[in-house]
Amino acid sequence: MVITYTVSRLTVHIVWSTKYRYSVLKGDVQVRCRSLLVQICEAEDIVVEKGVVSKDHV
């Protein structure tokens, strides 16, 4: 009988950008977008190592 174990570490780089790269992620929208992403990641047990919300992409 052969028993094998596999351990994997998945690292993903995701970039979300606005249509036509419009600069709409500013001020309150930028803060709200970041807080929503943090909430979603916490709910799904996702660890964000580095996260940046720029004016035209996340």
Half-sphere exposure of residue 16: CA atoms within 13 angstroms, side-chain side: 9
3 pLDDT more than 90: no
CATH for 1-58? 3.30.70.1290
Whole-number pLDDT of residue 30: 92
> In the chain, what are the domain boundaries?
1-58
Please state the pTM of the whole predicted model.
0.69
What secondary structure, in 3-state letters, does 1-58 show? Answer: CCCCCCCCCCCCCCCCECHHHCCCCCHHHHHHHHHHHHHHHHHCCCCCCCCCCCCCEC
Mean pLDDT of all residues in 4-13: 87
Q: Region 2-12: what's the mean pLDDT?
A: 86
Q: What is the pLDDT of residues 10-56, one digit of tens each?
A: 888 888 888 888 899 999 999 999 999 999 999 999 888 888 889 88
Largest Cα–Cα distance of the chain, in whole Å? 61
